Amino acid sequence: MESVEKPRVRVVGEEKVKLKKSFVKPWMGIKYLFKKPVTIKIPYEKIEPAPKYRGFHTLDWKKCIGCNFCGQICPARAIEMTWIEVDGKVEKRPHPKVDYGRCTFCQFCVDVCPTGALGHVENYYLTTAGLEEDLQLYDWVPIDPKKVRELNEKFNDYRFPVERIKFNKETKEVTYYLRDGTEFKFKILGYGLKPPAAAKPKPAAKPAEKPAEKKEEPKSKEKKE
């Protein structure tokens, strides 16, 4: 046991790292006066975000099976499952709704998604005014990735693909006004993992299995508050 080697730590002598004070050397700093500034003139020049920059989410509505893995892993609890009716047809499974007021863009939800339905694009630019109807924009069910890429090719400025979101409280109809002028409409029937009354008739048998996962139930109730 005595033969345990001492960890060899190399210490550089202080005289090697200590700099001499100088009166003249600071004048070297002036050399940058005639060099080109390294600034990027943002309104006129563009920067490309990294190819897998963690930006806004996309959701393939055909692939999402409503397993709520994303909602469980989300550290900010920004994901809430939502029951949706598109063109009069109730989706069999709930879809995640992301609240960008809380989302930290860690994209754990993308990693955990078993079917690969939830993904992300490089778009990161989202600014609104403080009005109530503008703030609707921060709470959305992500749209299809193909649509987002199409919008990116058209505008290429990495903004949020939706310009305005209108939520009708009576009919619960949500309208996304996309940036190229098309509208995307659906209805929100309810939140949480339990199917709401409106969604019941068809998929009654399947969500009945769900309450077995009791852990989620209190969570979804908390969110409603």
Partner 1 sequence: MIDWKLILEAIGILIYATFMGFIFMGIERKAMARIQRRIGPPIYQPIIDTLKLLGKKESVSHGFIYDFGPIFALGATITALLFLPVANFQLFSSNADLIVVAYLLEVPMLGIMLGAMSSGNPYSAVGVQRGLLTMVAMQLPYGLALIAIVQHFETFKLSEIVALQSLNGWSILVPALLLAMIVFDIVFQAMLGLEPFDIITAPAEISMGPMVEYGGKHAAILFTQHAVQLFAETTFFTILFLGGASNLLELLIKQIAVLFIAIFVASIYPRFTIDQAAKFFWKWPTIIGIIAVLLTM
Least distance in angstroms from the C-beta of 36 to partner 1: 8
Q: Which is nearer to partner 1, 7 or 34 (CB)?
A: 34
Confirm or reject binding of residue 43 to partner 1 (CB under 8 A).
no
Confirm or reject binding of residue 44 to partner 1 (CB under 8 A).
no
Beta carbons of 199 and 83 less than 8 angstroms apart: yes
Confirm or reject binding of residue 39 to partner 1 (CB under 8 A).
yes
CA 156 to chain centre: 19
Q: How many angstroms separate the CA atoms of 29 and 33, rounded?
A: 8
Confirm or reject binding of residue 30 to partner 1 (CB under 8 A).
yes
Size of the site for partner 1 (CB under 8 A): 11
Span interacting with partner 1, options 6-14, 25-33, 70-78, 119-127, rule CB under 8 A:
25-33
Per DSSP, the residues of 10-25 read: ----HHHHPPPP-SSG
Q: Which is nearer to partner 1, 9 or 24 (CB)?
A: 24
DSSP state at residue 224: H
Locate 91 and state its tokens. Answer: 């989706």
Q: Which of residues 11, 12, 19, 33 is near partner 1 by CB under 8 A?
A: 33
Confirm or reject binding of residue 42 to partner 1 (CB under 8 A).
no
Confirm or reject binding of residue 37 to partner 1 (CB under 8 A).
yes
Could you give phi then psi for residue 153, rounded to 5 degrees?
-65, -30
Least distance in angstroms from the C-beta of 46 to partner 1: 17
Confirm or reject binding of residue 35 to partner 1 (CB under 8 A).
yes
> Which of 54, 104, 113 is closest to 77 using CA atoms?
104
Q: How many angstroms separate the CA atoms of 117 and 65, rounded?
A: 8
Locate 192 and state its tokens. Answer: 């949480």
Burial degree of 157 (CB within 10 A; 0-12, 13-18, 19+):
exposed
Confirm or reject binding of residue 29 to partner 1 (CB under 8 A).
yes
**Interface positions with partner 1 (CB under 8 A):** 26-27, 29-30, 32-33, 35, 37-39, 41
